[in-house]
Structure 1
């Protein structure tokens, strides 16, 4: 309801009452609340100068000393007046509703006039009630707006929350034709900050970062906390000046570092920043966020103090969403293929088996290793599609070898694969389809996969695979969290020693002693040891003298199509 508007029903009531009065030669006019004294806003009925003058009297309540009454009906030899005082919640005069009836000498007409006056008085009271309701609703609307503003804010930093930030960005980009930069900021190692210094300090650190960004960026920037340790800002760029972006990112770096120093923790304050800049065709907030996210991850791998501005040629592979259509197309066109690297026996000189590796054959960039599309592999849906395709094709190629016994095929599987309840049955059908046995395959897992609970779902799947005849290899042993407990508790048949332990074996007695001790340990456990990263004959000869049999590395063959070696 618009303030001072006439609801249709009330307008009909007043109009009917006035018509009835006119039919009895009663002269009347209705006055409504005024925005300020002396300026009538709405009048119904006679509007001659004399009545306008009376309107001013009614508004100021100077016509009768009893103006404080809620409803005033006053008779004089000159006229009959009906007035209702309208007050605000503090009792101050807000306006008046008034009715003037022309004089009449007929007593009967006077009675009719008074009845008509009371009728209109009741109508005016209804109108006042509606105005009061309107004021109450307006107060509720104001309170609702206040709550809405509060709901748009992040409770800890008072910046816009994720939902409000994206909504405001959509509105600004839809109405402001200038170029804008969308900055995405991620605090490095924030989980460690919480673990080491506690969550109260972590909250204080986030508030410090928010204040630093407010000071560093232009006052009309949109600033939001998207969640956790991730912040975002939308900044207008005069004339599309990209040089401004570099300055803004430097100001953010400096401001956050200074804030961390003020907290007494100068070693904190490290942040990664990615930026996406709008174009004439690109003003969609979601796409800008994905591009900024890709640039942010590129920044994490490069110089943190510079940040990164998104370019398609450089950063597409840093965003799973941007990479997804290209990845699926390459998978469909079979440009993502299994490559095979031989594992050789130093004692016999023969190939003992092959490890299956993934390569993306890109028409422009050549052969891409998994590091170039690791984000796609971290997406469960894409990782599952890739595993099914690569394992199926690898088994098909392996089954086509003229002499495959006693060779084995090592298949790399992740935690997502091992958590799929149908993995074992899928492998069983694939082996049967290609005429292979379970003894032909080795399931290779990283040590992070084995960080789960003993007797948990991954443990049970590996135990089931071993029960059927497959072997299990633990990859990159010694580079992370895997220890002797894993060798004792988990179902492991092979251990793959990371290349970092043999790079200096020719000159380091400690490295030589470590490999020798590990050989004794694995022999005692009944576990085969495969040494990775053998790049030259000198290293191979030393390993042979130590009693090592199985090795893998470029000295014995690069990854490639099966049979190319």
Structure 2
């Protein structure tokens, strides 16, 4: 009788288990199916949105590229010089520029708005691209518009073809003599390319008040542009597609839109592929579960039930209760071991959780905890300020004092941060970087309080240190991104900007990202520019105030980038210093200057050239021998090359600088202290240096005519130099008054835009020929 009762109980448990399993699996299967269907639909909508972003990026990129090239081409002196010549010459010149960027349209427009030259590409019967004169040539470009703006970028519709066109003004002095424009087709090829990138079909449509016309699409081979298929999409009666219209501009009161669409059948197809897999998975789960249920049901006992319930509690994260069972010794041992296991799991999870969300050195919450907090704040739509605090010279301190002291300093900083009066949540990102989240929106007050309280003198192993800090700040309501990590990244960008400009703190500004990208681009291209001779030297004359002749020039490097045009030195010199490329750059400048000196000598011009020497060159053991060998190889006189050294180079390593300068002086080089007055060199250092010349910085010279303080500084500097036996060069001369004042003072040389701006060699030669000043000639 007992045996039958046991079997009946096992059967009931088995049947109930199977029933519950079927119900749960059915619900799970249905939920999975619906979730997959919804997920694919959402994915399809997101793909449409991403496609819009990709297209806008492509259009903006082409607009920037066309505008930049049009501006560059419009500055071409050769092109402007043939504007009055025959039509064929103009078309040839215009086509040469067009081919550089492979544009589909090129226009030249005179100042009345008449197109006097137009070229457009087309595909001939042999499927080859050709160029022909366009239909607008000889016609007014001002149809349906009043004026043409400088740097005009627009859409134009010519012969039922849509172009993205950028115009740039042609200048003759200050007068606008016309415009030059280049354009790319917005056609089937672009649509197909974007469709391949985004996996979304694309069509370009012209829309007026009552009708729409498809110009081109990525599926022209399947559906011609006049197909009824597009009518259904445009009038929104086609329900089997997900689609979106994105305006891109106007042409003669007609709107140009981009139509992006994707078939809903893709969703059903994806779900349909998953259906058999899900069904097979459910079937296998049911079979395995039934077999397991049979085995479990045969061995069910009350103690085991208790253990199973406790397992479920532990699985749910409830570790508070212990298992107490009556039964055999083995069962009791099992329950005791289970209780010990539960306690071990609790301890291990606490340890793992702490380690996952806290820094091992400072025990402050780490990056993972910070990101969770930012997500929580965003979820509750809170306004807050993120401050990334960094103490300076961490690597230098560690290298000098060792890792033990370095770790103690980090722990000290963590304590200082947590004990400030600023109400904040504090995090340690690693080594010298800490992050504070504050709700106070008065950024200046918070930062001033924070920096004043953490910046105190401290001692480590009888070593007294004054730790300096810098901070980058991002404000959530101003700088939110798509995810919290972007806000943290913006604090890092602001921090780097503060370091670069030697500020205590910096609030993030959007242009910092643009500057960072520009610096990255220049950094990646600078090495190639040096090796490929994309650099060019400009020369600025120095006027001898005693003889009023030009006998010296300063060599100033410029970068002629093939795409960006002329890049000023302020944009890439600092990059060369930071990336270790100054030695290579200075060597290039030195060789080019020597070559130019020899060319002028052959022309009968005796012009000495000054070259700027960076601190990196002073510390470069190979550079002095390099320039000395160059002097010997070309048999240069001692007056041929002047080496200008900034005060910074002397201050950084005074002993090394002194030895290097003596070495160069012994080999006949004339030496000059550049930008005097802006650095921190002492008079004691100055009198020991083997230099012959001192250059007064332009900041003291350019306002001499109106600033008495500058007059006092310059006069004192000139008298000091003369007392030390040094000649003086004043740079930054902007007017005749300053020039006359310096001449009366006894200053030897003057340099500045009043005399001449820096010029490339071919323009310098023209300036020499027409200069008001005499040029020092070589002796026959």
1:536: Cα distance to partner?
1.9
Q: 1 CA distance for matches of 2:696 and 2:656? A: 26
Q: Secondary structure at the match of 1:378?
A: helix
1:347-393 deviation line (CA, Å, top 9, x unaligned): 12222322122223356765443333354133142333322333332
Matched, 1:52 2:309: no
Any idea what SS the aligned residue of 1:342 has? strand
- 2:627 is aligned to 427
From 492, 495, 517, give the equivalent of 1:316: 517
1:168, distance to aligned residue in structure 2 (A): 7.0
- The answer to whether the Cα contact below 8 Å between 2:303 and 2:326 also exists between their aligned partners in 1 is no
Q: Are the structure 2 counterparts of residues 399 and 134 from structure 1 closer, same or farther at C-alpha, using a change threshold of 3 Å?
A: farther
Match of 1:413 in 2: 613
2:653 paired with 1:445: no
Structure-1 residue corresponding to 2:553: 354
More relative contact order, 1 or 2 (CA 8 Å, 6+ apart): 1
Q: CA contact under 8 A between 1:205 and 1:260: conserved in structure 2?
A: no
* CA distance in 1: counterparts of 2:455 and 2:587, whole angstroms: 52
Q: 2:325·2:332 contact (CA, 8 Å) conserved in 1?
A: no
How many residues are paired up? 430
Q: Is the 8 A contact 2:577 2:616 kept in 1?
A: no
Displacement after TM superposition at 1:428 (Å): 3.0
- Specify which of 144, 151, 158 is matched with residue 359 of structure 2: 151
Instruction: Work out whether residues 498 and 506 of structure 2, in 8 Å CA contact, stay in contact via their aligned partners in 1.
Output: no
Q: Separation in 2 of the partners of 1:58 and 1:344? A: 99
1:548 aligns with 2:777: no
Does residue 94 in structure 1 map to residue 302 in structure 2?
Answer: no
User: Which 5+ residue runs of structure 1 have no aligned equivalent?
Assistant: 1-41, 60-91, 100-119, 192-198, 215-221, 236-247
Could you tell me the TM-score, scaled by structure 2's length?
A: 0.44
Cα gap change, 1:52 to 1:141, in 2 (>3 Å) = closer
Structure 1 469/270 Cα, relative in aligned 2: closer, same or farther at 3 Å? closer
* 1:396–1:134 Cα change, 3 Å: farther
Residue 662 of structure 2 corresponds to residue 463 of structure 1? yes
Does structure 1 retain, via aligned residues, the 8 Å contact 2:735–2:754? yes
1: CA distance, partners of 2:429 / 2:557: 38
Contact 2:357 2:365 in 1 (8 A): no
What's 2:699 paired with?
A: 500
Shift of 1:330: 4.3
Aligned-residue offset at 1:558: 0.9
After TM superposition, give the deviation of residue 130 of structure 1 in Å.
9.1
Instruction: Summarize deviations over 1:504-563 as a string: whole Å, max 9, x none.
Output: 544566655554444343233221111111122222122212222211111222112135
Counterpart of 1:114? none
Give yes or no for contact 1:186–1:230 (8 Å, CA) kept in 2. yes
Q: Is the 8 A contact 1:185 1:272 kept in 2?
A: yes
Per-residue CA distance 1:151-193 (angstroms, 9 max, x = gap): 26756xx353xxx36x9769999xx99x9x99985679999xx
The answer to whether the 8 Å contact 1:355/1:409 transfers is yes
- Is 1:212–1:252's contact at 8 Å kept on the other side of the alignment? no
Checking the alignment, whether the CA contact within 8 Å between 1:274 and 1:297 is kept in structure 2 is no
Q: Does 1:533 align with 2:533?
A: no
Cα pair 1:473 1:495 within 8 Å, conserved? yes
Match for residue 377 of structure 1 among 576, 580, 585: 576
Contact 2:480/2:487 (CA < 8 Å) preserved in 1? Answer: no
Secondary structure of the structure 1 residue equivalent to 2:301: helix
Say if 1:182 and 1:232, in contact at 8 Å, map to a contact too.
no
Give 1:345 deviation, angstroms.
0.6
1:208–1:256 contact (8 Å) kept in structure 2: no
Distance 1:334 1:140, change over 3 A: same
Distance 1:259 1:288 in 2: 20
Counterpart contact for 2:497–2:506, Cα < 8 Å: no
Question: Which residue is 1:217 aligned to?
Answer: none
1:521 is paired with a residue whose SS is helix
Give the drift of 1:52. Answer: 2.5
2:597 maps to which residue?
A: 398
Q: Taking structure 1 as reference, are residues 559 and 48 closer, same or farther at Cα in structure 2, changes over 3 Å only?
A: closer
Paired position in structure 2 for 1:76: none
Aligned equivalents of 1:385, 1:171: Cα separation in 2: 47
- How many angstroms apart in 1 are the aligned matches of 2:714 and 2:688? 22
Whether 1:386 and 2:594 are equivalent positions in the alignment is: no
Match among 483, 487, 505 for residue 682 of structure 2: 483
CA distance in 2, matches of 1:286, 1:328: 32
Q: What CA RMSD, in Å, does the superposition of the two structures yield over aligned residues?
A: 5.5
Deviations 1:463-510 (A, max 9, x none): 211121112211121233223212212232211112333445445666
Q: Answer yes or no: is 1:561 the counterpart of 2:755.
A: no
| Worse overlay, 473-482 or 333-342 | 333-342
> How many angstroms apart in 2 are the aligned matches of 1:348 and 1:491?
26
Q: Distance in 2 between matches of 1:366 and 1:154?
A: 50
Tell whether the 8 Å contact from 1:184 to 1:230 is kept in structure 2 after alignment.
no
Distance 1:232 1:44, change over 3 A: same
Instruction: State whether residues 213 and 252 of structure 1, in contact with CA within 8 Å, keep that contact through their aligned partners in structure 2.
Output: no
Partner of 2:184: none
Q: Which has the larger radius of gyration?
A: 1
* CA pair 230-484 structure 1, distance change in 2 beyond 3 A: farther
